[in-house]
Amino acid sequence: MPIDPYETGPSSAFEMFSGEGVFYADTTTGVKVEYILRCHFRKVSHKEFKSARMLENGAEQRFVNALNDEFVVPALAAKGRFLRIMKEWPFFPALCQVITDADGKSFVFHDVACVDLNQELNAALFEKFGCSKTWSEVRMSKLPQSDELVEENYQRLRKLYDVNAVESTKEFAALEEANMVAFAQKDLELRRLFLRRKSEQSLSTDFFAVETGLVGRTVEVRWKVSEKFGKKTHDIRGYRKENGFENGWMPPERNGVCIVDADQSGTVTLDLAAGSTTFFTFLVLRHSEGTPILEDKLRFSVTVPSIAEAFKLDEEFSKLTKKQESAIDEKTAHAVKELLSFVEFDENVSAMEEMLSKRISQKGYPEHEKQEKLERLKALAESLRIDT
C-alpha cells in the first residue's frame, strides 16, 4: 500500500510553505485595481493540517485566499483607509488615510508601498488549516495594469456616464483640453530640467574631474587634476565642436578647436550661442618622443537654452490655461478632477507623440540632437500615459 504522506509524523519534512495570489479592490471612484499578496507559513497542528489536506495541489492558494478574505480585505477599509490613483504618485495606486496631527490638523497620508498595512499584517497572528503565517506582504501592481483591467474600467466609466462612448461626453472634451495643457506644461518642465542637467554637470576620471556651470549664454568649465596627473609628465587639453563628437580620440586636433592646453587645474569661460549644443573633449596626454600618448579622456556636451523658445512655450501654456478655464464650468471641473485620476488617453497621446516625432524628424536637426529630442518626447508621452 502507498504511504500516506500525512502519516509520516507530526515532524515530517513538509513544514514550511509559501504562496501568493492576485486580488482586486476598488478606488474611491470605483476603479478596479490589482494587488499581490505574498506569504510564508508553517505547519503548527498536524491534525488540522491533515484534515485540511494541505499537501494537495492548490493548498497554498487556499491559505493565501483565506488570509486575504479574513485579514487583508477588512484591513484595507479599516482606520478610514481608501485607495486612489494620483498623479503625484503615478506608478502605483496609493493606500490613503486621513491623519490628524498633534495640532488637530488633518492631512491625507499616501502609503504607496502599503508600509503601515504590512506592519499590521506581519504583527498579527493568523492560523488556518493547521498552519500559522510567518511573513506576509501586500504590494500594489504597477500602473498601467493589464489590458483586461483597463477595458473593464473603461466599461465601468461608460456605465457611470450612461453613454456608448466616453469620448462623446463633454467631460471628455474638457479633459482633452486639460490633457493638452498638461502635455505643454510637462514638456516645458522636462525641457528645463533636461537643459539644466545638460548644462550643469560634474564628471570625473582617474586623472581629472570636470564641472560645468551655465549663466545665460556663458558657460564656465572647471577642471581639477588628480594625484595621478604629473605636471612634468602630462598635459591636459580641451577641445570644442559644434557638430557632434568624432568617432576616435587621436590625433587630438580631430576633436575641434583647442580651448585648454595646461599642466595643472584651471578654468575656462566661453560664450555660446543661444539654443545651441557644444561638444567638449578633454584629453590627458603623456609626454613622449614624437606623438603624445593618450592616458585618459572625457567627453560631455553643454546645451544653452533658447530664451525665445522657452518664452513661446510659456505663452502657449498661458493661452491653453485661459481657454481651459473659460470652457470648463464648476461641474465639469469637478468631473475633470475625478477623471484625471484614472482615465487613460493612450490613443490621443500616441497620436500626439507621432505628430511631434514627425515634426522633429523634418526639422533637420543634427542626428545626436534629433535623437535627444525624440528620447525626451518618448519619456514625456510615457509619463502622460502613467499620470492619466
Give the pLDDT of residue 71: 92
For 168-227, the pLDDT digits (tens) are: 656 555 555 555 555 555 555 555 555 555 557 788 888 999 988 876 678 889 999 888
C-alpha span between 13 and 2 (Å, rounded): 17
CA 84-190-153 angle, to 5 degrees, is 25
Give 39: exposed, middle or buried? Use CB within 10 Å, 0-12, 13-18, 19+. buried
- Return phi, psi of residue 123, to 5°: -80, -20
Question: Could you give the 3-state DSSP secondary structure of residue 146?
Answer: coil
CB of 130 closer than 8 Å to CB of 47:
yes
Q: Which of 159-173, 245-259, 262-276, 315-329 has the lowest mean pLDDT?
A: 315-329
For 13-44, the pLDDT digits (tens) are: 557 888 999 999 988 877 888 899 999 999 98
**Closest Cα to residue 304, out of 280, 279, 272?**
272
pTM, 2 dp: 0.43
CA 214-216-220 angle, to 5 degrees, is 30
pLDDT band at 341 (very low <50, low <70, confident <90, very high): very low
C-alpha span between 98 and 109 (Å, rounded): 6
| Alpha helices (H) along 224-271 | none
Q: Which three cell numbers stand for residue 242?
A: 559644434
